[in-house]
Amino acid sequence: MRIALIAEKPHYARSVIPVLRELYPAAESSPFVAVFVNPGVHLNGSFAYPRGLGWEDYPYVGEPAYRSMKLTSWMCARLSMNVTDRGWPYADGELPLVEDEAEVVDRIRNADVIMAAMNWHPGSALTFRRVLDHVFPEGAPLDRIAYPNISDQVTPSGRIVPSKLSLLFPNELRKLVAEAPPLEEVEWELLPYAMARRRFDYSFNVNAFALLRRTMSAAGIPSGAEVPTKYGVQFLYALNRAGSLVDDDSIELMRTWKGSGKYRVDPTAWTRFGSERSWENIIDRLVNGKLVERFGDDDGEIRLSKGGERFLSLLHPDCEDPDMHFRLDAWCKLPVEESYPKIDRYIRTFFGKQKRHVERYSLEFARSDISAMRKIDEKVFGTIQENANTRIVSRGQGGDPVQRANSFTSGGGRGGEPS
C-alpha cells in the first residue's frame, strides 16, 4: 500500500503519520511522499491577474484565475513511516526534499490513500482542491482521498495554538482520521466560503493595482511602492486617528478590531482583520508603500508619512469601511448564488466611487494611459494639501492610542454600500 500525505504544516504530518501507520499496516516501509502546501502561496499568492485592461474596464469584478501550480515550489519530502507519537527524526531545515515535480505528481497519482492533513478551513480546502486538480486533471479518485477534521485551535483571544491531538488525544485523532467524511461533504461545507472570499480578494486586488496605485501616484508616492491591501487601507484610517502607534499597539488594534460596533467580534471567524501570521506583513507593506513611516527608538513606532496623509485625502470618504471584513464574513457564509452578487456590488460601488473621485481631481489624469501613471498638476497638489490639513489636523489628541484608532463611530464612510 502506498500513501501520499498533503500536509499544511510539518507538525500536522508529525501528528498523522503514526495514525496512518496503525490504520494501514500494509503500507510500504519505504519512504512515502509528503507535500507541504501553503494556502497563502497557492491561493492569493498565485493569482493570475488580467492584462490589457483600460480605464473604462474599471471597476472590475471576475472569477479568480491562477498561475500554473508547481508543488515543488514550496516543499515536498520523502518521509519515513517510522515516526512515533513523541519522535520526529527530522531536524528543522533537514527534511529529505524531493525537487522533481514529475516524481511528486507520480507518487500522488499512484497512491492508494491520499490523506489531507489540512486545517478545517475554507482556504485550506480550496488549496487541497487545487492540488487535486493539478495532479488529476481528468478528475480526482474520490474513493482514495480522506480529509479528516484536524485543525489548530483558535483561542478566545484570537491566538492560534498548534494542534496537540497526537500528543494529548491520540484516540481522538485516530478516530478523526479513520472516520474522515467523504471529500464531497468537506467541499460542500467549506468551498462556497472559499470561492466567495477569493472572488472578493481577486477583484479587490485587480482594482487596487490600478485605482489605488493611481491615487498613490497623485499623492506623490513613487510608482514602485507597494499598493495597500484591503486591510491596509482601513488600518491607515485608524492610524490617522491614533496619530502614532508602537508595534505592540498596532498588533493589538488589528487583533481586537471592533469596527463600527454594528457586528459582534468573533476571534474564531474564518475572516477576521488579518491573522496572527499577517498582521506584521500588513504594516510592512504600508511601510514599503511609503504610506507609513517608522520613527522613535529602534524604529519601534509608526505614523502616516506625508505621502500617506495625501493618499488618505485623495480617497473617497466612503473608502473608509471599518466593517469590511465583518460584511465579507457574513456574505461568504451564503450560497455562492447569493454571495457573489453582494460581493460584486460592493466592489463596483467601492471602486466606482474612487474612480469618479479621481476623475474629479483631474480629467486629464484619469484619461491618461493606465501604465503611465502621470502625476497631476501643482494646482491639484495644492487642493490635496488643503484637504490633508483639514482632515489630519485633529489626529492623535490625547487618550489611549488604540482606543483612538478604534473610534470608528465618530466618522468614516460606508465602504461599498451603495450611496
Q: Around Cβ 40, how many Cβ atoms within 10 Å?
A: 15
Q: Under 8 Å CB-to-CB from 294, ≥6 apart: which residues? A: 287, 300, 301, 302
- In terms of phi and psi (left: phi > 0; alpha: psi -120 to 50; beta: otherwise), the region of 158 is left
What DSSP assignment string belongs to 284-311?
A: HHHHHTTSEEEESGGG-EEEE-HHHHHH
Quote the pLDDT of residue 152. 56
What SS3 state is found at 4? strand
Please name which of 133, 184, 220, 198 lies closest in space to residue 332, comparing C-alpha atoms.
Answer: 198
User: Model-level pTM?
Assistant: 0.83
Quote the pLDDT of residue 64. 95
CA dist., res. 346 & res. 417, Å (int): 6
- The three cell numbers of residue 56 are 473604462
List strand residue ranges (DSSP E) for 29-179, in order: 32-36, 75-79, 113-117, 145-146, 153-154, 160-161
Quote the pLDDT of residue 85. 47
Residue 319 to residues 71, 316, 323, 366: CA-CA distances in angstroms? 38, 6, 11, 18
Quote the pLDDT of residue 251. 92
Structural domains for the chain: 3-38+74-181 (3.40.50), 191-410 (1.10.460.10)
Quote the pLDDT of residue 291. 97
- The three cell numbers of residue 381 are 497638489
Quick: pLDDT tens for 39-78: 877 888 889 999 999 999 999 999 999 999 888 887 787 7
Note whether 294 and 301 are within 8 A (CB). yes
Quick: pLDDT tens for 373-395: 434 333 333 443 444 444 443 45
What DSSP assignment string belongs to 197-221?
A: HHHHHHHHHHHIIIIIHHHHHHTT-
List strand residue ranges (DSSP E) for 143-232, in order: 145-146, 153-154, 160-161
- The three cell numbers of residue 198 are 477569493
CA dist., res. 338 & res. 355, Å (int): 26
What SS3 state is found at 398? coil
Looking at 243-377, list the stretches that DSSP marks H as alpha helix, in order from N- to C-terminal side.
247-255, 279-288, 306-314, 324-332, 336-361, 363-367
CA dist., res. 225 & res. 231, Å (int): 17
Residue segments in the chain with a per-residue pLDDT below the cut of 70: 28-31, 81-95, 151-170, 362-419
